[in-house]
Amino acid sequence: MFEGVIPAIITPFQRNSSMDLDLEGLRSNIRFLLANGVHGIVPCGSTGESATLTFEEHEQVIEEAISAANGQVPVIAGTGSNNTAEAIRLTKAAKDMGADGALVISPYYNKPNRSGLIKHYTALADIDIPVIVYNVPGRTGQNLPPDLVIELAKHPNIVAIKEASGDIGQISRIIEGTLDDDFQVISGDDNITLPILALGGAGVISVTANVEPARMVAMFEAFCEQDLETALDLHYELSPLFRSMFIDTNPIPVKKAVELRGMAGGPPRLPLDELDKEKTQKLREVLATYE
């Protein structure tokens, strides 16, 4: 259902005292991504600073993303929360606005038990919108084990997982265990996207694609065409940029990178702060190699 290179888009803010949404900048960034061949977009994910958006802003960003995409690619709205009632509200709103799917991070901080996780995801999938489970233990403090994901995949509306555990063995086990289901595994780590594709993954929900969408798309398409030499060359060409996107907490580096490229970024919202001068210089040097 969802495949290819799908940027987890940033949320641009204006450089004013209240850090208002930069909606024109958001639209401009999406036009750039579409022109470079991406296969979908994810507004209001972790990269989109969903944790510091109000409900109203969250819905504004999703609505603008759907409008800007204009049916050209799927829009998968980030609608997760560590509060099931809030996640239901956000997911229902995304569905009503016309989102093609919902990306739902596993509940952070709470560390729910197995039955709680199953009930949480089932409640969201029952809203009747395609749901992508998002496993990112580094942010949530809790890994979703393969047997749990395999069980969730039995729900007809739980269609994929964004896997950012970094555990190739775990990712392989999930793919193995869902071969008979209409279920996809999508990379959540740019730097291991190519190995995940080789295991049978469907694509990547990407940070780096905000900055270098054309190269990311070229890597994916080369793999799909079985041109493994080109795909591998592009993987290693992009690897320094993959690493630079995480020289500080995401999305601090990627927001600075798009600004350095002349796109809309703005500062991250507190408690995240801007990239310091030393790291900004390192980022400039990496970006210069792609010009």
252-277 pLDDT, tens digit per residue, is: 999 999 999 999 999 999 999 999 99
Per-residue tokens: 184: 């996809």
Q: Would residue 236 count as lying in a domain?
A: no
Sheet with 131-135: list strands edge to edge.
Answer: 4-7, 203-206, 184-187, 158-163, 131-135, 101-105, 76-78
Q: Would residue 210 count as lying in a domain?
A: yes
Q: Would residue 257 count as lying in a domain?
A: no
Q: Which of 95, 121, 134, 255 is catalytic?
A: 134
Per-residue pLDDT band at 225 (split at 50, 70, 90): very high
Beta bridge partner(s), residue 7 = 206
Tell me the per-residue pLDDT of 186-206, one tens digit each, with 9 for 90 and over.
999 999 999 999 999 999 999
Q: Would residue 271 count as lying in a domain?
A: no
Q: Could you give the number of structural domains in the chain?
A: 1
The CATH number of the domain where 60 resides is what? 3.20.20.70
Strand extents, DSSP E, 53-179: 76-78, 101-105, 131-135, 158-163
Per-residue tokens: 149: 């994901």
Q: Would residue 232 count as lying in a domain?
A: no
According to the model, what pLDDT value does residue 32 have?
A: 98
Q: Which of 162, 255, 277, 279 is catalytic?
A: 162
The answer to whether residue 17 scores a pLDDT higher than 90 is: no
According to the model, what pLDDT value does residue 181 have?
A: 83
According to the model, what pLDDT value does residue 106 have?
A: 96
According to the model, what pLDDT value does residue 193 have?
A: 98
The answer to whether residue 70 scores a pLDDT higher than 90 is: yes
Provide the residue type at 255 as one letter: K
Beta bridge partner(s), residue 187 = 163, 204
Q: How far apart are CA 55 and CA 171, in angstroms?
A: 33
According to the model, what pLDDT value does residue 248 have?
A: 97
Q: How far apart are CA 169 and CA 153, in angstroms?
A: 18
Domain region containing 103: 4-227
134 is catalytic: yes
Q: How far apart are CA 66 and CA 95, in angstroms?
A: 11
Q: Would residue 285 count as lying in a domain?
A: no
Q: How far apart are CA 231 and CA 45, in angstroms?
A: 27
Alpha-carbon 164 to chain mean position:
10
Q: Would residue 188 count as lying in a domain?
A: yes
pTM for the complete prediction?
0.95
Q: Would residue 264 count as lying in a domain?
A: no
